[in-house]
Amino acid sequence: MSEFDKYTTASPPPAGVASAEERQWGLFGHLSALTGLFTGGIGNIVGPLVIWLIKKDTMPFAADQAREALNFNITLALVGVVLFLITLVTFGLGAVLTMPVGLLLGIAWLVLTIIGAMKANDGVAYRYPFALRLVK
């Protein structure tokens, strides 16, 4: 082995530290929720679910981050259904409350998803501030 090879060969990360590939898949786990913008909302759940199912046995960090994104997006979908039902039950009058709340949740969803992706890319296990941990 030459002197140059000694410094350029990649060594495996220390135990407990996510590899670059795991961090990248963790990033994808969070950002895959953004596909919901193009699929009418279903991609918010399907994107992280697919990544979690593919990586759950091989990459623990990536699976954890995809599962966290999945739980967060399921939580927000449930909140959206509740807001819609409130609007329906009140014959549209509840929209005075539900529309601003929905808009704030949409902005929070986008910001928190981007923060989660950036943290995962740094190798930090991100936890969303309000998410039901439904998928274990």
Cβ atoms within 10 Å of 93's Cβ, excluding its own: 11
Instruction: Kindly list the distances between the CA atom of residue 106 and the CA atoms of 52, 87, 97, in Å, as whole numbers in the listed order.
Output: 23, 17, 15
**DSSP assignments along 68-101, one per residue:** HHHHHHHHHHHHHHHHHHHHHHTTTTTHHHHHHH
In 3-state terms, what secondary structure has residue 45?
A: helix
Tens digit of each residue's pLDDT (9 = 90 or more) over 79-101: 999 999 999 999 999 999 999 99
pTM to 2 decimal places: 0.85
How is residue 19 annotated by DSSP? -
Structure tokens at 120: 């995962």
Tens digit of each residue's pLDDT (9 = 90 or more) over 7-63: 444 444 555 688 999 999 999 999 999 998 888 888 899 999 999 999 999 999 999
